[in-house]
């Protein structure tokens, strides 16, 4: 984290672009800015374009939009669930009876969870909790408020909806982490979700079928072109856990691999180990054979042609077996830095990309905790910024 400051200007694209440029210059990192990851706000995306930076949409925000758009299909059931949850939160007698019935059923006492409109994950948690206390909830409502009880169709909708949403939930949790490589999973996550949705057979429940169709359509609309994103393709290829297997379409891999070979081959950097090899290899003696000129040409070409060296590195890397998904790809690369010097240099600019801007939102939440009612002496904005900086770093 390099800064958390109050922005008093209008949030126009130009003002945001100027702010980012000033912040990058302050830290002297202009030349190191590889890509800017943000939510899908139009002014942010426009600011990134104005600054000439590459942009990447936050995967967690994109998934949130996919699911939120599809939740309309079960809006009637969701409204009834929310009415029940609000009733238990407002009514002390109902809350007490609910706890008593859970105890009688030898169920660990659990409270119902309210969801947050802007974060669909909380909706999933809310529905999961409702399913977990289903029997106790039915019994309590039968006594206290039978008029707001859920129908059998509602329960079926909740069960199947949570089943549909489970892959989205698990992937949102994983992509929001801060301690591991995530950009290389962007394409893989999309592949996993799409395949999970395609496994579902046509539904008799029209509400669920509508939701399923919406999820598929939204995934295609918002994430259908991820395998055409150069940054994401290269990150996936350079992750020894995925490589080619991370792609849904083999042709997209072939295109990305070909382009990566070209880019790596254009790197004219002379690596130490290659210089040493050149010094040790003596020139081939002339033998008077008709092959002398050809051999001389090839011996000069092999150590000096970076394109050939880059291709050899890439092909050798692709032949290595995949490592386990739970392993750390950065440690793998650390051990093979000398084996694949060109790829390693390129990898540093790809696997350092995060797939989500969620960590930035956590910083904002942390700033709110630091600046609370108990710390009334925090008068200066500079002091707050310094405390947040220390806390996050």
Which position has the token pair 């800064």?
Answer: 3
Residue 302 has pLDDT above 90, yes or no: no
What DSSP state is assigned to residue 119?
B
> What is the chain's length?
393
Contact 91, 97 (CB under 8 A): no
Q: For position 320, what pLDDT does the model report? A: 96
Residue 305 has pLDDT above 80, yes or no: no
The tens digit of pLDDT for each residue in 60-111 reads 999 999 999 999 999 999 999 999 999 999 999 999 999 999 999 999 899 9
The tens digit of pLDDT for each residue in 14-50 reads 999 999 999 999 999 998 898 999 888 899 999 999 9
Element containing residue 56 per DSSP (H, E): strand 55-57
The tens digit of pLDDT for each residue in 127-171 reads 999 999 999 999 999 999 999 999 999 999 999 999 999 999 999
Indicate the range of 146-160, 193-207, 301-315 predicted with least confidence.
Answer: 301-315
What would the mean pLDDT of 3-24 be, rounded to a whole number?
89
Output phi, psi for 30, to 5 deg: -50, -45
Indicate the range of 179-193, 278-292, 328-342 predicted with least confidence.
Answer: 278-292
Q: For position 265, what pLDDT does the model report? A: 82
What 3-state DSSP class applies to 38? strand
Q: For position 393, what pLDDT does the model report? A: 54
Contact 87, 53 (CB under 8 A): no
Which position has the token pair 């925000």?
Answer: 61
Percent residues over pLDDT 70 in the chain:
81
Round to whole Å and give the CA distance between 313 and 95: 65
Q: For position 275, what pLDDT does the model report? A: 45
The tens digit of pLDDT for each residue in 224-266 reads 999 999 999 999 999 999 999 999 999 999 999 999 999 988 8
Q: For position 4, what pLDDT does the model report? A: 76
Residue 367 has pLDDT above 50, yes or no: no
Q: For position 175, what pLDDT does the model report? A: 86
Output phi, psi for 119, to 5 deg: -130, 105
pLDDT confidence tier of residue 5, bands split at 50, 70 and 90: confident
**Rounded to whole angstroms, what are the CA distances from 216 to 191, 192, 195, 245?**
12, 12, 10, 22
Q: Greatest CA span in the chain, whole angstroms?
A: 105
Scored b (16 or more CB within 10 A) or e, 220-242 reads eebbeebbebebbbbbbbbbbbb
Residue 371 has pLDDT above 80, yes or no: no
Q: Which residues contact 46 (CB under 8 A, 6 or more apart)?
A: 13
Contact 113, 129 (CB under 8 A): yes
Residue 366 has pLDDT above 70, yes or no: no
Q: Tell the burial category of 155 from Cβ atoms under 10 Å away from its Cβ (0-12, 13-18, 19+).
A: middle
Report domain extents, the chain. 1-57, 63-223, 244-341, 361-393
What 3-state DSSP class applies to 260? helix
Round to whole Å and give the CA distance between 265 and 65: 39
More confident: 278 or 3:
3
């Amino acid at each position: 984290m390099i800064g958390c400051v109050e922005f008093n200007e209008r949030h126009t694209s130009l003002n945001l672009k100027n702010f980012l440029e000033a912040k990058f210059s302050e830290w002297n990192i202009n030349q190191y800015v590889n890509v800017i990851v943000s939510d899908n706000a139009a002014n942010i995306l426009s600011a990134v374009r104005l600054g000439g930076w590459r942009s990447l949409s936050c995967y967690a925000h994109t998934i949130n939009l996919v699911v939120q758009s599809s939740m309309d299909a079960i809006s009637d059931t969701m409204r009834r669930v929310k009415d029940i949850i609000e009733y238990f939160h407002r009514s002390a007698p109902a809350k007490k009876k609910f706890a008593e019935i859970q105890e009688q059923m030898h169920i660990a006492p659990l409270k119902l969870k309210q969801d947050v409109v802007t974060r669909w994950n909380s909706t999933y948690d809310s529905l999961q909790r409702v399913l977990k206390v289903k029997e106790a909830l039915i019994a309590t409502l039968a006594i206290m408020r039978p008029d707001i009880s859920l129908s059998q169709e509602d329960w079926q909708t909740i069960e199947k909806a949570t089943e549909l949403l489970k892959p989205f939930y698990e992937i949102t949790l994983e992509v929001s982490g801060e301690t591991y490589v995530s950009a290389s999973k962007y394409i893989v996550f999309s592949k996993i979700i799409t395949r999970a949705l395609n496994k579902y057979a046509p539904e008799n429940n029209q509400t669920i079928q509508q939701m399923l169709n919406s999820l598929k359509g939204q995934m295609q609309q918002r994430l259908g072109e991820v395998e055409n994103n150069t940054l994401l393709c290269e990150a996936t290829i350079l992750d020894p856990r995925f490589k080619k297997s991370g792609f849904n379409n083999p042709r997209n891999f072939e295109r990305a691999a070909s382009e990566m070979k070209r880019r790596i081959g254009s790197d004219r950097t002379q690596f130490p180990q290659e210089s040493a090899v050149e010094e040790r290899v003596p020139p081939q003696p002339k033998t008077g054979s008709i092959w002398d000129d050809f051999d001389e040409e090839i011996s000069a070409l092999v150590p000096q042609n970076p394109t050939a060296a880059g291709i050899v590195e890439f092909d050798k890397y692709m032949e290595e077996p995949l490592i386990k998904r739970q392993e750390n790809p950065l440690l793998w690369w650390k051990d093979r830095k000398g084996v694949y010097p060109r790829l390693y240099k390129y990898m540093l600019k790809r696997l350092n990309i995060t797939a989500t801007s969620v960590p930035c939102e956590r910083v904002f939440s942390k700033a709110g905790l630091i600046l609370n009612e108990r710390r009334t002496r925090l008068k200066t904005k500079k002091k707050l910024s310094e405390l947040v900086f220390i806390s996050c770093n």
